[in-house]
Amino acid sequence: MPEPSSGQDVAELLAAAQVSLGRHHKVLQALGRVFTDAGHSIYLVGGSVRDALLGRLDTDLDFTTDARPEQMKPLLAGWADALWDTGIEFGTLGVGKDGDRLEITTFRADSYDHVTRHPEVRFGDNLADDLVRRDFTVNAMAVRLDPEQPGGLGEFLDPLGGLAALQARTLDTPAEPEVSFTDDPLRMLRAARFAAQLGFTVSPRVRQALTEMAPQLSRISVERVAAELDKTLLGADPVAGVDLMVQTGLGGIVLPEVGAMRMAIDEHHQHKDVYQHSLTVLRQAIDLETDGPDLVLRWAALLHDIGKPATRRHEPDGGVSFHHHEVVGAKMTRKRMRALKYSKQMVDDVSQLVYLHLRFHGYGEGRWTDSAVRRYVTDAGPLLSRLHKLVRADCTTRNKRRAARLQANYDDLEHRIAELAAKEDLARVRPDIDGNEIMTLLGIPPGPAVGQAWNHLKEVRLDRGPLSHDEAVEELLRWWNEQR
């Protein structure tokens, strides 16, 4: 891949690309041979070139070619280990080869109706038209595959200044941003995603277009919006992406509750900037992750205080209160995530963490009983480890003594949990008598009374810990007699 320009930064980028692409030289050379022998040209393109230059290329490789789909399929059928044609109507074939996953698409020259984001698919005749229709210049670079060259790579093509934008870590559009974003408003959310994933900033004209055109996001399906939000939150620096959305107004369309945390603070009623606090909590929660990015934890960290604007009260003494903001926030979280069509499990998990995040703060006011510790663990259930991280991340005070005290209190709570877990199965607190035995002992058929008895015994179990069988029977009969 010949050097397109000079300079130390460019040399470093190209060296990173050579290393990244060198790992794939066999498949690049062989794929280039398949197409050139058939009289076609094929190019590594888009995010694959960008990621190669950044030294972060994985096993997913994107290509574009002048070959039409009906020409590609017979060419690849005998060469590929696996072939997927689910995207063939858009000119795309998926290929599995030697552990790499390749996506090969015919040159595109689509047009848009500017009502939906669905293009009228038209195949193009040249690479230049294909590149100019892409979202950002950093994704509009290409490398021709040439099986006669070392590593199977030929000419580097950068007609739109993508390499310079990559050096500057700037997102700009190949065409006017108003045209690009009108064609496909989802590209505006991609700007936030790339800010989070790659640490890029947006050019002034792109920022202006984002601000002016944010309402056009309403053309995008909520499923696609949610997918971009997830990719943003899973990035290396999701705060950068979230803040770009909020500052430009994109967040007001897709996550209005987050921007609403930027509450006005006057000199008489001081409290933390809830929005900046939430971004700090998100950063600190990420620092506590132990097994890679945790989407549930990150969502909970971002949304944990969204109930504060609705519950803010100015107290007579000049203070500010947010009573029950965790309850309100959990309801708001559930409503927003349902609107974005997240799975029931995802909605339940994130909203439950928001609901529980404040409970620990009663721990420092007096040593909890074993019953309170059991209830904390039981209510958290499988979310307990995430709740530990969220509560610790929620400490953003600059008062070092208070911060140390909060962390020490939580250390103590975790120690209490471990002590109780050593004595009893805290992960599965259940009554000491099951439903069948309840029906036998009380002589009742299945029905609501069985559930009521079961729930009473569970409450007793939480309060008193494990009971012997005789104690459980005695408690059941005592309760039943009271009910009657």
Which of these, 137, 136, 135, lies nearest to 119 by C-alpha position?
A: 135
Which of these, 216, 134, 213, 217, lies nearest to 178 by C-alpha position?
A: 213
The pLDDT averaged over each successive group of 10 residues in the chain (484 residues) is: 52 84 93 96 96 92 95 92 90 93 89 57 86 95 94 93 95 95 95 96 98 95 97 98 97 96 56 86 97 97 95 80 92 98 98 95 75 88 95 90 89 90 72 82 87 83 80 84 82
The Cα 27–Cα 223 span in angstroms is 34
Which of these, 407, 353, 361, lies nearest to 384 by C-alpha position?
A: 353
Query: Residue 138: what pLDDT?
Result: 97
Measured torsion, CA atoms of residues 350, 355, 358, 360, in degrees rounded to the nearest 10: -90
Which of these, 421, 449, 419, 424, lies nearest to 435 by C-alpha position?
A: 449
Residue 270: count of CB within 10 angstroms of its CB: 10
- Token pair of 334, please? 């559930």
Q: Which residue has the tokens 């277009």?
A: 209
Which of these, 251, 40, 192, lies nearest to 125 by C-alpha position?
A: 40
Q: Does the domain formed by 175-252 have CATH 1.10.110.30?
A: yes
The Cα 268–Cα 274 span in angstroms is 17
Query: Residue 35: what pLDDT?
Result: 97
CATH architecture of 8-168: 2-Layer Sandwich (3.30)
The residues with which 176 forms a beta bridge, in sequence order, are none
CATH topology agreement for domains 8-168 and 175-252:
no
The Cα 312–Cα 306 span in angstroms is 11
Query: Residue 365: what pLDDT?
Result: 63
For 109-117, the CB contacts below 8 A with 24+ separation are 109/133, 112/182, 112/183, 112/184, 114/182, 114/183, 115/219, 116/219, 117/184, 117/185, 117/186, 117/219, 117/220, 117/224
The Cα 250–Cα 193 span in angstroms is 12
pTM of the full structure: 0.84
Say if residue 267 is exposed, middle or buried (CB neighbours under 10 Å; 0-12, 13-18, 19+). exposed
Domain ranges for the chain, please list them: 8-168, 175-252, 255-429, 430-483
